[in-house]
Chains A and B, each alone.
Chain A
Amino acid sequence: MADNEDDDQYRIKEGDYVVLKRGEIYKSMQIQPRKKVIFEKQWIFLDNVVGQMYNTTFEILSGGALQPKKEDTESSTDVKVAGTDNRNIVDDGKSQKLTRDDIETLKEQGLKGQEIIQQLIDNSSTFSNKTGYAQDKYIKKKKKKYENTVTILKPTCRILALMYHGREPGKICHLRYDTLAQMLTLSNIHAGSKVLVFETCAGLVLGAVMERMGGYGSVIQMYPGGGPVRAGVECFGFPAHFHKTLHEFPICNVNALLAGSLDTTSKDPTADEKQFDVAVKEEPPEAEEQQEGSPEQSMETKAEDADDDHEKLEREKRKEEKAQEKKVKLEEKRRKLAASAALLEGRNADGLVIASRFHPCPVLLGLIKFLSPSRPFVVYSQYKEPLIECYTKLKEQGGTVNLRLTDTWLRHYQVLPNRTHPLLLMSGGGGYLLSGTTVATDHSKPTVSPPDDGPAPKRPKLKNSEG
């Protein structure tokens, strides 16, 4: 209570991006007044959480309102009678005396999850014969089902990476969170550097990079198609000044930039017009449809409508306004492009991170040209084969060392007294990484060189002795 001002940064505010958590399930969202949200098959309203502290666990009341949960009273389910083994436990399907309807009635009466679980235990004929471990497991399982709580967390890279991997792995090219962790470290992401990111992982990788940069330095997002995807970045809820460090550059302009033929000056009217044309084609605006539709319409209405001229004027005015708006937008876009191009032109970026559904080879070979020498890069791919190709191409063209093609295995453990064992083995699904360091390209071949950092020397061929 002493440091109330300090508390403020830990309080949930309206408009905050938060993550809801129950068990191992996460869901990201923004706090909006009177907005119904669905979480784990339940409707809830988040209005009550505003002003509460982050990491608070809430109980879901009927009607979807949330109320901070009182201190746990878990000891109430402690049952001290237990069996030693299951030799006398028979699965006759009759051990639970409560029927489905009974349970529904209990729920409708508004009983707390805890109370329902107690009822289930009291009405289970076999519960007291189960071993202590089995009783624990039973309670845990029921808790998962009947407990109506949700915890509100501040989003972090850890939580969002867990969330995306659990909910929508397809959207992030099956990038597992430990692989993402490797990427951030292998590319030496830190405050103050200039990092290139090319990703089609919903913005998760970009957000992770931005979190590690802490608003210092610059991130240039190279994007394919019409515009950058940043849904994942939103979820991080970065402060406004972070967004000033974020730049974007369309990957379709990379060749032009490398060739020095990219024109980003506004003084050249032809270039401006060209861009204008492109933009019009890219996003067919309503204006165009109106243009096509309006002649017919005006012909039809001409006879009846007296003040058609007036309407026409209005329409023209609106059209002009829209054109003006578009011009401003284009100008803004051009300015941004020029800024990113200026950042890239020095070809002195400090890091490169690639994680996309595209073939990584052309992306890597194109973007690596923007890196300073002695800088790390890392490429993610869900599949190993395209990275083998990247590896081979990089070896051919030189300019890199420390090339490593890796993947990681992640194993979780259940740690409980006398019940410790590995939980599940995740393998293969986490994707592959190719990482390395750039070096200065030097065309004059020196006489002696250090051993290539390629595959280990071939082992002596074995004579086929078994056949």
Chain B
Amino acid sequence: MNFVEYSDVIRDGDVVIVYLGHNSLMPVKVQHGAQTQTRYGAIWHSSDFIGRRYGSKVTCSKGGWVLVLHPTPELWTAALPHRTQILYTTDISIITMMLELKPGSVVCESGTGSGSLSHAILRTIAPSGHLHTVEFHEQRAQKVAEEFQEHRVDHLVTVRNQDVCKDGFGVSGVADAVFLDIPSPWEAVGHAKAALKRHGGRLCSFSPCIEQVQRTCEALVDHGFQEVSSLEVLLRVHDVRTVSLPLPDFGPDPAAPAEPGATEEAPPTTVSSHASISLKTTTPPREMPGHTGYLTFATKPRT
């Protein structure tokens, strides 16, 4: 496995995603001789994982089974250990498109956080691009660097442990795109500008509060950025289900001619109990995330 390249068979050292059921995923690092406990029993890596095909059912010790899935940035986002608040796939999708990321893009990111967006960026810019990511929290920077290595994407990424607002991204004039997810992005706009290519590039800043957006937009305009645009994307997940709508009983209708079969429905008291129409429909979730953050995009012109 590899987060940037599919393979068919699970090998020693792979990170796999164990699917335990609806919304229940568990990342597991495959190691010879190791064992993983799930709520359906134990899994032995040597016999249950290694050499098996991705997408297979794995029977656990208690007789239940789980599915073992190939890792993707999207599954990783749903399964990863949170060390910070993370970006989810809906925002990541629009960020990737609006930053115009593709194979070969050079991207600067800060902060790295739990690496949810980083994995998605790496997937998109591989095999020839590079990610320069800056995280000021030493422990987090270290942890995420380990993960990149475990996921065999460390050749595509440089993690720097520094303060982006003070020290910038550690590179200049190389980036096609910059992404900011920090408390005071306006303080990093100048560094972002310096990191971007002379020929220009795209910038995105993610902020939960409108006041942050306001200050960021002002800083962007002050630094000569163009096409400044702020937006918000919300995801709605629809539950597919069969619903049954009962028909009211209007009582016997003397005007209606006796229909064939109507006589069989004899006593009106029973009508209400079985007269209903069922149909397939979707219901919106009772609660949904109403806000993640505002996304502000801008273009740095050629200088």
Asked if B218 and A373 sit within 8 Å, CB to CB, the answer is no
Asked if B240 and A450 sit within 8 Å, CB to CB, the answer is no
Measured between beta carbons, the chain A residues less than 8 angstroms from B128 are 214
Q: What is the number of residues of chain B that contact chain A, defined by CB distance less than 8 Å? A: 78
For residue B62, CB closer than 8 A to chain A, the reply is yes
B203 to chain A, nearest CB (A): 13
Which residues between 419 and 454 of chain A lie within 8 Å of chain B, taking CB atoms? 420, 432, 437-440, 442, 446-454
Measured between beta carbons, the chain A residues less than 8 angstroms from B94 are 178, 181-182
Which residues between 7 and 54 of chain B lie within 8 Å of chain A, taking CB atoms? 8, 19-24, 40, 53-54
Measured between beta carbons, the chain A residues less than 8 angstroms from B124 are 190, 212
Asked if A456 and B64 sit within 8 Å, CB to CB, the answer is no
Which residues between 382 and 436 of chain A lie within 8 Å of chain B, taking CB atoms? 384, 388-389, 391-392, 401-402, 404-413, 415, 417, 420, 432
Measured between beta carbons, the chain A residues less than 8 angstroms from B4 are 190-192
B239 to chain A, nearest CB (A): 5
For residue A249, CB closer than 8 A to chain B, the reply is no
Asked if B280 and A410 sit within 8 Å, CB to CB, the answer is no
Nearest-CB residue, chain A, relative to B68? A374
Complexed CA–CA distance, A372 and B229 (Å): 40
Asked if A454 and B240 sit within 8 Å, CB to CB, the answer is yes
Nearest-CB residue, chain A, relative to B92? A185
Asked if B236 and A408 sit within 8 Å, CB to CB, the answer is yes
Measured between beta carbons, the chain A residues less than 8 angstroms from B229 are 412
Asked if B280 and A184 sit within 8 Å, CB to CB, the answer is no
Asked if B236 and A406 sit within 8 Å, CB to CB, the answer is yes
Q: What is the number of residues of chain A that contact chain B, defined by CB distance less than 8 Å? A: 73
Asked if A420 and B210 sit within 8 Å, CB to CB, the answer is yes
For residue A455, CB closer than 8 A to chain B, the reply is yes
Nearest-CB residue, chain B, relative to A458? B241
Asked if B55 and A438 sit within 8 Å, CB to CB, the answer is yes
- Comparing A153-161, A274-282, A360-368, the segment that makes contact with chain B is A153-161
Asked if B240 and A391 sit within 8 Å, CB to CB, the answer is yes
Measured between beta carbons, the chain B residues less than 8 angstroms from A3 are 198
Measured between beta carbons, the chain B residues less than 8 angstroms from A407 are 235-236, 238
**Contact residue among A157, A409, A455 (Cβ-Cβ distance under 8 Å from B97):** A157
Complexed CA–CA distance, A440 and B58 (Å): 11
Which residues between 222 and 250 of chain B lie within 8 Å of chain A, taking CB atoms? 228-241
**Contact residue among B21, B66, B90, B127 (Cβ-Cβ distance under 8 Å from A192):** B127
**Contact residue among B63, B102, B296 (Cβ-Cβ distance under 8 Å from A448):** B63
A225 to chain B, nearest CB (A): 29
- Comparing B70-78, B157-165, B184-192, B256-264, the segment that makes contact with chain A is B70-78
B106 to chain A, nearest CB (A): 13
For residue A204, CB closer than 8 A to chain B, the reply is no
Measured between beta carbons, the chain A residues less than 8 angstroms from B299 are 55
- Given contacts A420-B210, A440-B53, is CB(A55)–CB(B200) below 8 Å? yes
Measured between beta carbons, the chain A residues less than 8 angstroms from B126 are 190-192
Measured between beta carbons, the chain A residues less than 8 angstroms from B81 are none
B209 to chain A, nearest CB (A): 12
Measured between beta carbons, the chain A residues less than 8 angstroms from B57 are 439-440, 442, 446
Besides A178-B97, A446-B65, 6 other A-B contacts (C-beta < 8 A): A185-B120, A215-B103, A406-B238, A412-B229, A442-B56, A450-B40
Binding site for B on A (CB under 8 A): 3, 7, 10, 53, 55-56, 156-158, 161, 177-178, 180-182, 184-186, 188, 190-193, 211-216, 348, 350, 372-376, 384, 388-389, 391-392, 401-402, 404-413, 415, 417, 420, 432, 437-440, 442, 446-456
Shortest 5 CB-CB contacts between residues of A and residues of B: A373-B55, A214-B103, A374-B55, A450-B21, A453-B22
27 sample A-B contacts, Cβ–Cβ < 8 Å, listed by A number: A10-B302, A53-B302, A158-B97, A177-B97, A178-B94, A188-B74, A190-B103, A192-B127, A214-B102, A216-B127, A372-B54, A374-B55, A374-B70, A375-B70, A401-B19, A405-B240, A405-B282, A408-B233, A415-B214, A417-B218, A420-B210, A440-B57, A446-B57, A450-B24, A450-B40, A450-B65, A455-B240
